[in-house]
Amino acid sequence: MRVNLLPNNPNAIKRFTVVTANYNMGLYLEETIQSVLCNLGPDDEYFVVDGGSTDHSLQIIKRYEGAITGWVSEKDRGYADAISKGFSLGGGKFLCWINSGDLFLRGALNKAENCLDETGADMIFGDDLYIDDSNRVVNFSSGYCRDLRKAMIYGDWTPLQDACFWTRDIYRSVGGIDISLKDAADYDLFAKFSVAGKSEYVPVTFSAFRRHDGQRSIKNRESYKSEKKMARKNLVSTSGEAKLIKFKNRILYFFLIRWRARVLHKYWDIPKLHGQDVRTLICKTYKKTDKL
């Protein structure tokens, strides 16, 4: 099924093209859609690309079809194919996607535009919050990284996908998202961005990531690791760095990323956010010393 595919005003210059890929995630889809709609401006567009869900996802999408730019429901090759399809339907200067179940904080797109303009970066990446099924904050997750390229291709690290925003130009320059990848297309895309252009961390909490049993990164852990390994191998082989430098970087970032995951994340956490209803929080820089 394909319906309502044309932007509301095809001749207008668009700001953001936002895509949500969905497959049988009706339990969380409505809250994701609501979080995007409250961020959309008149020059933004939003596409929901469904993979032919058999649950009540279509009922939810149809409930909001008057507010979203367009939606598609048909069998696809996986989430990367769905995201690629969504981006091809839009014409925004900036791109991002938010998975079913995850949420944008209020003001996320406006803040992202400001950060992209101020930094002059091709991609920005920030912080997010982990939430449970009842939208309560479980913990704060910092996306801080000084050198994204090295952290990704040598340390096996990935920025927080729901807190990443980039230009259409950099997306086109790397050939878009690789639809042949089933599980690690986000890693592959962001790693290519880190090599091809300027990627910059901004200390802003843009979104909330929901942990649930149906997550691809949990269900398909081995496939995800295998695809990441192949992508990293390809990028390292074309990095142009001497073998000794590559070896040193592998050793250095192997330990740095594990230190970050096991120690620093506890230091960076903001316990006062725990238990908060994420829907009451706004997109901003959260600090331990701030009052909510």
Mean pLDDT of 194-219: 86
Lowest mean pLDDT among 80-84, 111-115, 196-200, 242-246: 242-246
Tokens representing 263 are: 């120690």
Residue 285 lies in a domain: no
We report the CATH number of the domain holding residue 15 as 3.90.550.10
The CA-atom distances, in angstroms, between 7 and each of 57, 82, 104 are: 22, 17, 22
Residue 214 lies in a domain: yes
- Domain with 234 in it: 2-280
Is residue 94's pLDDT more than 90?
yes
pTM for the whole structure: 0.93
Residue 291 lies in a domain: no
> What's the number of domains the chain is made of?
1
Mean pLDDT of 135-162: 96
Residue 275 lies in a domain: yes
Is residue 209's pLDDT more than 60?
yes
* pLDDT for 114: 98
Using DSSP, state whether 72 is helix, strand or coil. Answer: strand
Residue 232 lies in a domain: yes
Interhelix angle 185-196/79-89, nearest 10 degrees: 50
Residue 123 lies in a domain: yes
